[in-house]
Amino acid sequence: MQDLDAVRINFHESGLVFLNILLGLIMFGIALELKLEDFKLLFKKPRASVTGIVSQFFLFPFATYLLLWILNPPPGVALGMLLVAACPGGNISNFITSLAKGNTALSISLTAVSSSLAIVATPFNFFFWGNLYPPVHKTLKEITLDPFDVFKAILIILLIPITLGLLTNRFLPKFAKKAEKPLKLLSALIFAAFLVIALAANFQAFLQVIHRVFLYVFLMNSIGFILGYYFAKWMRLDEKDARCISIETGIQNSGLGLVLIFAFFGGQGSMAIIAAIWGIWHAIAGVSLAWFWSKRTESATA
């Protein structure tokens, strides 16, 4: 049986540049619909906002860390799981929350806040939990990865596009309104096409290992949705807020994870496969969950 950590993904350097630009474009598209008021919701509705941030940036990485001890995956797979868990909410979470009849305004504010916090929180969570898990700690020492390099990459990929998007919305509101939906749709389609092309170029490698890593993604993603929902309920939030926080916790920006994997881990196969499968599966699972919730009686969301 092939060693999962020996798998390598064929990915040209120009592809990494394109992926960086594409992810920046996606974040810019998201920021076009953001206003400074979205950040203010953190203070207007502090319990829901803090619950969402704690669920996403503390509970979910911690739950993933515990899952590693239970499943004992290969080090590369464990690194991929920790990196995905450390990423901010995915760019489709707002759409899925709306479909689920959740609190879309809260979802938008959490996307804005989590993407901003990710500049610090993503490298912190990845290295903090990684260094607490012995098999991964050894691998991190071998890679000699500088957390500051990861911080700089996330700063460029997230902060600059989000800032530009906010400024565009502030000073060119008509353009932002017209460009917002087409840009989000176009960037999502390009990203999907990019994933398909990358999968096609490494199809044999994916076929050989997908059945061995899907369970990790499925369990981790399911835990994210369940954890977010019941933590929100435990915090006495209403149904709409609970649905939103469930989705924000279970939908992660795996595109950012892929960029970091190819930039700093040389396309380490099992890490990239975890992030790529996550990018496909969390959308399927999220839309399925939203469809289920959308069919529930209106009284459930009151």
Enclosing domain of residue 22: 1-295
Please report which residue ranges of the chain form alpha helices under DSSP H.
Answer: 13-31, 36-44, 46-54, 60-71, 75-86, 93-99, 104-132, 134-143, 147-154, 160-171, 173-201, 203-234, 239-250, 254-264, 269-294
Q: What is the gyration radius of the CA atoms in the chain, in angstroms?
A: 18
Give how far Cα 2 sits from Cα of 74, 205, 266, Å. Answer: 12, 10, 19
* Tally of structural domains, the chain: 1
266: how many CB neighbours lie within 10 A of its CB?
Answer: 14
Q: Would you say residue 53 lies in a domain?
A: yes
Query: Is residue 301 in some structural domain?
Result: no
Q: How confident is the model at residue 185, as a pLDDT? A: 72
302 residues of the chain, pLDDT tens digit each:
445 555 555 555 556 677 677 777 777 777 777 666 666 667 777 899 899 999 999 999 999 999 999 999 988 889 999 999 999 887 778 778 888 989 888 887 888 788 878 888 888 999 899 989 988 877 776 665 566 777 777 777 777 887 888 888 878 878 888 887 777 677 667 666 766 666 665 666 666 677 778 899 999 999 999 999 999 999 999 999 999 999 999 999 887 887 788 777 766 677 888 888 888 888 889 989 999 998 875 445 54
Residue 32 belongs to domain with CATH number: 1.20.1530.20
Q: What is the pLDDT of residue 260?
A: 81
**For residue 298, what pLDDT is reported?**
47
Domain assignment present for residue 91? The answer is: yes
Rounded Cα gap, residues 117 and 125, in angstroms: 11
- Has residue 10 been placed in a domain? yes
Q: Is residue 21 part of a domain?
A: yes
Q: What is the DSSP string of 162-201?
A: HHHHHHHHHH-HHHHHHHHHHHHHHHHHHHHHHHHHHHHH
Question: Which distant-in-sequence residues (6+ apart) come within 8 Å of 153 by Cβ?
Answer: 259, 260, 263, 264
Asked if 39 contacts 109 with a C-beta cutoff of 8 angstroms, the reply is yes
Alpha-carbon distance 132 to 171, whole Å? 46
| Whole-number pLDDT of residue 299 | 46
**Helix 203-234 vs helix 173-201: angle between axes, to the nearest 10 degrees?**
130
User: In the prediction, which pLDDT does 1 show?
Assistant: 45
What contacts 99, CB < 8 A, 6 or more positions away? 287, 290, 291, 294
Total length of the chain? 302
Distance separating alpha carbons of residues 122 and 107, to the nearest angstrom: 19
pLDDT value, residue 165: 83
The model carries a pTM of: 0.82
What DSSP character marks residue 301? G
For residue 65, being part of any structural domain is answered with yes
pLDDT, position 206? 66
